[in-house]
Amino acid sequence: MTGEKANIVIGLNTVIVAVTEDYPRVLTIRDGNNSLFRGQELRALPFGLLDSAKDRTLELGVRRWVKEQTGLELGYVEQLYTFGDKSRNPGEIRNSRFISIAYLALIRESVPLGDGDSQWVGYYSFLPWEDRREYGRRVIEEEIVPELVDWAGKAVGKDIQRERLDRIAIAFGLGEASWDVEKTLERYELIYEAGMAEEFFSDLDPEGKVTPEKDKVMGQRMAMDYRRMLATALGRMRGKIRYRPVVFELLPPEFTLYQLQRIVEALSGVRLHKQNFRRLVDRGGLVERTGCLDENTGGRPAEFFRFRRSVLRERRDTGVGLPGGA
């Protein structure tokens, strides 16, 4: 048996995250500025093709592309996942298999200066159901769950209906299941499969003849499968909060415990009990006092802390953790 040999194209994407004013934000570019996405106006993630001659490693390629497109120098970077669904090929490389190796980067927000029309956008504008501090809880109960249950009921066969209902309950914490902050990708996939994401229809019909009902669409659309990348990255960040000190990448060198809690709440999308959170931080030995006070609190001065880096040598589990949320 013979077949045409596929042409493989390797791309590099980066989910660059900052937390500003209690909300996670992701750095995006306008995909119309990228030759792969001419004629479109959707937001995309910083992206570039791997240059096998110029880029000694994949990570160096990521850092080079981000610098060129956004003007930002990345600090913390880790490989996230490889995306290679057959339906994801953009424009001029549609006849090739397009593989994207995605990376996650955490930085403190600064003004991008590159040539890619860079813009910081609220993370939860793309995945609004993930912020249960305010809007997300209501939109799940009043809009998403009823639509998903209706979608499950339309499946052919009782077994498939039951399977869908089980997936919905587990992903969205219904019935005996509890809300799991890390099940971000599972929730997005359900919303996608139920036709509540515009990307479902563009994947189904690239010509745009099949369109969704606008009142059922959830969240701001992105180019290609970039919202799937965002959901994957959010789940990774939330998981790492439990066992790695990644949140400190998003804070200044000196910070208050209130600032630390707000960062964790922003990433996890849930409110945390103040005293429980502080006991968890204190028990973990993650921070140390600086002896300085923040006088600009509008009330009682707050003490400044810094990350105690020696904890990295003392034990493997160095996360802030996620105590019970409100």
Q: Is the pLDDT of residue 36 over 80?
A: no
Q: Between 222 and 38, where is the model more confident?
A: 222
- Write down the pLDDT at residue 323: 58
Q: What is the pTM of this model?
A: 0.88
- Write down the pLDDT at residue 298: 65
Q: What is the mean pLDDT of residues 191-202?
A: 90
Q: What is the mean pLDDT of residues 293-315?
A: 83
Share of the chain above pLDDT 90, in %: 48
- Write down the pLDDT at residue 4: 56
Q: Is the pLDDT of residue 34 over 80?
A: no
**What is the chain's mean pLDDT, rounded?**
85
Q: What is the mean pLDDT of residues 50-73?
A: 86
Q: Between 99 and 268, where is the model more confident?
A: 268
Q: Is the pLDDT of residue 38 over 50?
A: no
Q: Between 21 and 80, where is the model more confident?
A: 80
- Write down the pLDDT at residue 39: 47
pLDDT digits (tens, 9 = 90+) for 154-163: 999 999 999 9
- Write down the pLDDT at residue 94: 57
Q: What is the mean pLDDT of residues 23-35?
A: 75
- Write down the pLDDT at residue 214: 64
3-state SS record for the chain: CCCCCCCEEEEEEEEEEEEECCEEEEEEEEHHHCHHHCCCCCEECCEEECCCCCCCCHHHHHHHHHHHHHCCCCCEEEEEEEECCHHHCCHHHCCCEEEEEEEEEECCCCCCCCCCCCEEEEHHHHCHHHCCCCHHHHHHHHHHHHHHHHHHHCCCCHHHHHHHHHHHHHHHCCCCCCCCCCCHHHHHHHHHHCCCCHHHHHHHCCCCCCCCCHHHCCCCCCCCCHHHHHHHHHHHHHHHHHHCCHHHHHCCCCECHHHHHHHHHHHHCCCECHHHHHHHHHHHCCEEEEEEEECCCCCCCEEEEEECCCHHHHCCCCCCCCCCEC
Q: Is the pLDDT of residue 16 over 70?
A: yes
Give the least confident one: 45-54, 188-197, 235-244, 295-304.
295-304
Q: Is the pLDDT of residue 5 over 70?
A: no
